[in-house]
Structure 1
Amino acid sequence: MTKLKVYRIYTDIETLRALPRGQQSDLVKQYTGTSDINKRLVLELSDSIKLEKSISDAEVAVLPAILNYYVEKNKLIELEFFLDKAASKGIKVVALNKGDDNVRVPFYDDLIIYKSGGLRSKMRSNEYGLPVMISDKWNDYYSWGFTFPHSDHPTIGFCGQGSATAGKVLAEYKRTFVAKFNKSKDYEGVFSQSRLRANALSELEGDKTINSQFIIRDRYSFHKENGKLNYQSQNEFYENIRDNQYTLAIRGGGNFSVRFYETMMMGRIPLFVDADSPLPFEGSQIADQLFPVHDLKKSGKTSVSETLLNYHQGRSPKELEEVALQMRRTWESNYSRKGFIKTAIRLAVEQ
């Protein structure tokens, strides 16, 4: 049996421990976590990743905090000190840039950045897409085993905020216009994500050859009531994904879709509306786009419903089920937290 390569990484563990949990890098935060989930993740990673105490023994370094911390706290000097330390050993540094509004940092040759949003066409040569790392709900919804719904007409689900009131649209236009003057953040242009989403939902629902199963809410499905999570709305959300072949995945306030990853995790096929949105590991075999993509820049007069119908009609029921299973496998191996850590570290070492 071929022995797996173990990649040796380094981070400043003392700095990592001192950081608030939300500002720690997802690539290494498990090494300071005390929960069973973090302990299990460290154990599961141990066959492929080893955290070294000395940077001299490492093949790649991981910035302990997300880039947002260094920009928003005016601590770029700490970032550059870490980069210089890694450069003196001839190794690269991997960092994460998270949130709806990604921060801007200078270009550093030896810094590899995974960012959640921004415009793909504006990304620099050292920037790549960052998946949203979510919990695995597979066992909660497939306790009896995996099944895939088959039908002649495509069935597509969506559960979440889908309204576009005049007040909401105006507020989003205003927010994105003002963002132009914030030089510390990426600028994506003036737009309304609510209007974009509502238009896509309306197109799909208006096509009678598509079975649309939409649950439209006026707020986030995972909202809290009296300080507690609304588990009923969460359950409806995941059941809506499970009970349909496809789920609409379209950007929100940031140029990424959490629902895209939730759909893959659930073994279903995302209908991805591409708003110049970065996806992880593009240009590699990992990112083979088996799912339908409606590119807003290239679609021309083609509607999002036509994109779905063309995709669905070109595949047999057996092929669609295999795509759905491949979505799940891709999420597990590359887009889950464990999968992303392994893949990102491996690619950083191999670059």
Structure 2
Amino acid sequence: MANFCFTDAISEADVAIFPVDIISFLKNDKINFFNDWIAMVSKYDLPIWIYAAGDFGFSSEIFNVTTFRLGGFKSKLNTSTNIIPSFINDPYKEVLKNDFFLLPKKEQPNIGFVGNANGSFLKICKEFVLYAKRNLINILKKSPEDYHPFYPSGWKRFKLLQKIVNESKIESNFIFRKKYRAQGKNAGSKEDTTLEFFNNIQNNLYVFCLRGNGNFSVRFYEALIMGRIPVLVDTDVKLPLENIIDWKQHCLIVSENSIIEDLIYFHESKTQEELKEIQKKNRKLVLEKLNRIDYFIQISNEYLRNK
């Protein structure tokens, strides 16, 4: 590739990359190997990149180490942490088999959602049991994953979506699932539910986005690549490339308490042409900056500017 190349000689490298998920690696009791590798690479005065997969991520305090992770809490992440987007294949090509098109502005904001949203007491109890079990296992096994406080995302989604449903000034198009990925009886095939999911995004100007187990939303990036406008509930979220991308030009970031008012105000304050321009910019953003290759080109360019 023109932008990146590998070298066998560390003396010729611009950056040293630890080539596997750091959390899985350290869970296998490889901390001594990792520390020895860091010490060896540090002799060459190279920046070091590591990747933390999964919902919860990993924080490093080593001065020359930059961590790439999917999410985390913005107020707690250090300056050497980069948020990596969820890399999404184009649903128009892969699932819907049609072309991107612009939605006109309606009199009322129309917002869509398909997914796990369950407001039962049993649901929140199950989420807490799973949370407690995971934390216990992490403590016993001394997991390197970051600690996340309890957040019942399925229950939270239900409560916030119901607030929107009850607002007469908003057109809501929601399909509530009791389990992730429509698992369960009478949910339909995976192909059918996937098509239903992306059709819902395609047919609504706005898309409701709230974190899952980890403090990030894959749906956020799915809405962007489809040229729709994410309505992201702010749970101390950090987004990718915040020093490069003006995210206020691409999405609506709201608090749990202000989602109704903010959505109505945003919609009323934008002209038809402005909303169409946002749709075009959002799709272009993913296709040109937030895909697997171009994201790291942005990172590399930033590194070279600061070198």
Instruction: Say yes or no: TM over 0.5.
Output: yes
Alignment counterpart, residue 114 of structure 1, candidates 68, 72, 75: 68
- 1:1-351 to structure 2, matched below 5 A, reads 46-104=1-59, 106-140=60-94, 141=96, 143-177=98-132, 179=135, 182=139, 184-221=144-181, 230-282=190-242, 284-290=243-249, 291-296=251-256, 302-351=257-306
**Structure 1 Cα separation of the partners of residues 200 and 269 of structure 2:** 24
Aligned residues: 297
Deviations 1:101-143 (A, max 9, x none): 2235x41111111222221111122112221122222335473
- TM-score, normalisation: structure 1: 0.77
Would the aligned equivalents of 1:224 and 1:230 in 2 still touch at CA under 8 Å?
no
Would the aligned equivalents of 1:119 and 1:278 in 2 still touch at CA under 8 Å?
yes
**Structure 2 Cα separation of the partners of residues 259 and 270 of structure 1:** 8
Structure number with higher relative contact order (C-alpha < 8 Å, ≥ 6 residues apart): 2
**Structure 2 Cα separation of the partners of residues 219 and 111 of structure 1:** 38
Deviation at residue 223 of structure 1 after TM alignment = 5.3
Deviation at residue 235 of structure 1 after TM alignment = 0.6
**Structure 1 Cα separation of the partners of residues 36 and 299 of structure 2:** 22
Deviation at residue 322 of structure 1 after TM alignment = 0.7
- TM-score, normalisation: structure 2: 0.88
Query: After alignment, is 160-169 or 72-81 more displaced?
Result: 72-81
Deviation at residue 65 of structure 1 after TM alignment = 0.6
Task: Give the partner amino acid of 1:206.
Answer: N
**Structure 1 Cα separation of the partners of residues 241 and 189 of structure 2:** 33
**Structure 1 Cα separation of the partners of residues 38 and 305 of structure 2:** 19
SS at match of 1:51: coil
**Structure 1 Cα separation of the partners of residues 97 and 267 of structure 2:** 24
Deviations 1:215-267 (A, max 9, x none): 11122237599xx9711110111110010001001001111101001100111
SS at match of 1:64: strand
Would the aligned equivalents of 2:151 and 2:213 in 1 still touch at CA under 8 Å?
no
**Structure 2 Cα separation of the partners of residues 124 and 345 of structure 1:** 19
Of all paired residues, the percent bearing the same amino acid is: 25
**Structure 2 Cα separation of the partners of residues 145 and 129 of structure 1:** 27
**What's the RMSD between the two structures over aligned residues?**
2.4
**Structure 2 Cα separation of the partners of residues 268 and 343 of structure 1:** 23
Query: After alignment, is 168-177 or 305-314 more displaced?
Result: 168-177
Gaps of 5+ in 2: none
Query: After alignment, is 68-77 or 141-150 more displaced?
Result: 141-150
SS at match of 1:332: helix
**Structure 2 Cα separation of the partners of residues 262 and 327 of structure 1:** 10
Deviation at residue 76 of structure 1 after TM alignment = 2.1
Gaps of 5+ in 1: 1-45, 297-301
SS at match of 1:122: coil
SS at match of 1:156: strand
**Structure 1 Cα separation of the partners of residues 128 and 305 of structure 2:** 42
